Structure 1
Amino acid sequence: MSFPVGVPGVEALGVLSRFRVEFYDCLYARADALFELTDAVLCADGPVRSLVELTLSAEHRRGHGAMYDAVNHGWLEPVRLRRLLASTPLPRAADGRIVLAVDVSNWLRPDAPTSPDLLFCHVYGRGRSADQMIPGWPYSFVAALETGRTSWTAVLDAVRLGPADDATAVTASQLRDVIARLLRAGQWKPGDQDILVVVDAGYDVTRLAYVLADMPVELVGRLRSDRVMLRDAGPRRSTPRGGQPRKHGGVLTFSKPDSWHIPDQATACDTTRYGTAEALAWDRMHPRLQARGPWLDHCGELPLIHGTLIRLKVEHLPGDRDPKPVWLWSSKTGMTSEDIDLRWQAFLRRF
């Protein structure tokens, strides 16, 4: 486990001891064998390539027969474990808010063609056009991010995606359940900063913001560079002649700088890994929704989902690679320059 900076060592050990006791209580069948198998996974040197190797570690005091019996006939109660994870101390950002990251990680199973509900999972290759599609199980993870130069995260939930699942719908339901557990555990109280959720371009961030509008969350997500955003329609310049008023104003096309109007915020700061980072932000930008895809069954007029559009440009990438601008959209409006920097820094922490 990982604990926030500044927690005394004795208190951290007490939290860890409590977690181990309550984790053991989550094991309803073959508890001892599963508990030692978990210790063996966490304490193994290097990656775990086979279950048999775990029986050779000092933490696993049983034979390989007991290990297979625990895997085949053991039972862990997931609902109780999720409540336990939500009640443990969580890392927080510099302003005290909780930052959650959502992503899909694939468990590749190319040698198990008879496994149920296999999907073709996208795997990046080392060269251009070297990507592959490999059979496996995709899992949607939700984790709380830590600050500082660390790769530790506090994983709070994992859900396997099925062949008929919509990733955005599953993510919205998953986030709602995770946030509800955090609220019940007292991790967020009225008056606290909204929980920040960062997602990548594979998610419909505006749809997530609309579905989770009743929760104390703010969505920040990356947009593709071929997208467009719109401003609000200004006041009518002439006497109306009937018909509905305009809903949309000027169009901001990401790939056409001539279409950009004056940004509401502009920031620049120096970073250790990327050089100078410059951010431009436009307030109250919204997408043009259409009655298709997730909005096909929407009743009534399609909503205007306002947010802040952020363009991030860094000086260089690690390895002297040529950087491309990153476009982000936040469901919060009326942000200051400090708020803008916090959003794109939180997005980079996601990686």
Structure 2
Amino acid sequence: MSLLNDAACVESSEVLSRFRNDVYACLKARADALFELAETLLCEPGPVRSPVDLSLSPEYRRGHGALYGGLNHDRIDAEQLRQVLAGLLLPRWPDGRIVLAVDVSSWLRSDAACSAERLFCHVYRRAKSASQFIPGWPYSFVAALEMGRTSWTAPLDVVRLGPADDATAVTAAQLRGVIERLITAGRWRSGDPDVLIVADTGYDITRLAYVLRDLPVELLGRIRSDRVLRLPAPPRRYDPRAAGRPSTAASSPWPIPPPGPNRR
């Protein structure tokens, strides 16, 4: 299941061989079937429409019965796999800093009415010039980012969000676990720059910073475009001819123009 010792003549091959052995050790049941299934997924040139199609690939040397047996009766040590991922060499930025990104990616399951714990996932540009909510499973990912224009990332953890979960609390626990595993694996030592965590809109950065205040991390989050932080709040005005409730300072990011004929 790994490269031969005499073939691992370069460092990259040795790292790959060690990683394959460590991943195989995390499979506690039906290890051969699951490992070959993972290799088949990586070797597929396009998207996989059905699991049974993988049994027809040359990389999978077993029948479709072994494939379904591995999926139904497998056992993976998730915590051991997380430790293996934390022990890998992570990409670093020029100042030696580790940059982690946290985001949610949804697995849409609109046609699986019997699947449990589905949520309405916010999906953009699925309808005409609008977004919509589609049933599916949201997953929270934490990955290490590389420098420059590249789509390669190093996934470190993934957690599925349930209907009763607090997204901020789950994200905080997930980030704490990742940082603690990186410290245990020696990827961050005392004196190194703090780990930078970047997040998109929708995350409560203030709450995350308070919960993770005892860890060597810095959080950077993108705020909504309608937030007003720089300009002073204009005075409240009321127009009896306007429909709806009176406008406030948060309704417009720009100062109120002076009255006059050229106001429009």
Q: How would you bin the TM-score normalised by the shorter chain?
A: 0.7 to 0.9
1:127 CA displacement: 6.0
Cα deviation for residue 225 of structure 1 reads: 2.2
Distance 1:133 1:59 in 2: 38
Secondary structure at the aligned position of 2:179 is classed as helix
Residue in structure 2 matched with residue 210 of structure 1 by the alignment = 210
Flag the structure with larger Rg.
2
> What is the Cα deviation at residue 97 of structure 1?
0.7
Distance 1:189 1:26, change over 3 A: same
The secondary structure found in structure 2 opposite 1:225 is coil
> 1:159: which partner in 2?
159
Is the 1:103–1:140 contact (alpha carbons within 8 Å) kept by the matching residues of 2?
yes
**TM-score, L = length of structure 1:** 0.63
Contact 2:126 2:132 in 1 (8 A): no
Q: Deviations over 1:195-242 (max 9, x none)?
A: 000001110111111111110000000011222448xxxxxxxxxxxx
Q: Distance in 2 between matches of 1:214 and 1:228?
A: 30
| C-alpha distance after superposition, 1:230-287 (max 9, x if no partner) | 8xxxxxxxxxxxxxxxxxxxx99992379xxxxxxxxxxxxxxxxxxxxxxxxxxxxx
Q: Deviations over 1:287-313 (max 9, x none)?
A: xxxxxxxxxxxxxxxxxxxxxxxxxxx
Greater relative CO, 1 or 2 (CA 8 Å, sep 6+): 2
Which secondary structure does the structure 2 equivalent of 1:131 belong to?
Answer: strand
Is 1:168 matched with 2:168? yes
Residue number among 240, 246, 253 corresponding to 1:255 in the alignment: 253
Give, in angstroms, the shift of residue 108 of structure 1. Answer: 1.0
Question: How do residues 270-309 of structure 1 correspond to structure 2 at under 5 angstroms?
Answer: none
Equivalent residue runs for 1:325-340 within 5 Å? none
Contact 2:103 2:199 in 1 (8 A): yes
Once residues 191 and 225 of structure 2 are traced to their aligned partners in structure 1, the CA distance between those partners, rounded to angstroms, is 36
- SS of 2:137 mapped into structure 1: strand
Q: Aligned residue for 1:31? A: 31
User: Which consecutive residues of structure 2, in runs of 5 or more, have no partner in the other structure?
Assistant: 1-8, 231-248, 257-264
What CA distance in whole angstroms lies between the structure 2 residues aligned with 1:87 and 1:116?
A: 34
The 3 A distance-change label for structure 1 pair 28 and 96 is same
- Whole-Å separation in 1 of the counterparts to 2:12 and 2:87: 14
Deviation at 1:90, TM superposition (A): 0.6
Distance 1:164 1:67 in 2: 33
Do structure 1's residue 226 and structure 2's residue 226 form an aligned pair?
A: yes
Q: 1:138–1:31: structure 2 CA closer, same or farther, 3 Å change rule?
A: same
**1:182 to partner: Cα distance:** 0.4
Q: Give the conservation status (yes or no) of the 8 Å contact 1:228–1:253.
A: no
Aligned-partner residue type, residue 51 of structure 1: P
TM-score w.r.t. length of structure 2: 0.83
Q: Percent identity?
A: 65
Aligned to 1:263: none
Are the structure 2 counterparts of residues 64 and 206 from structure 1 closer, same or farther at C-alpha, using a change threshold of 3 Å?
A: same
Pairwise CA RMSD of aligned residues? Answer: 2.1
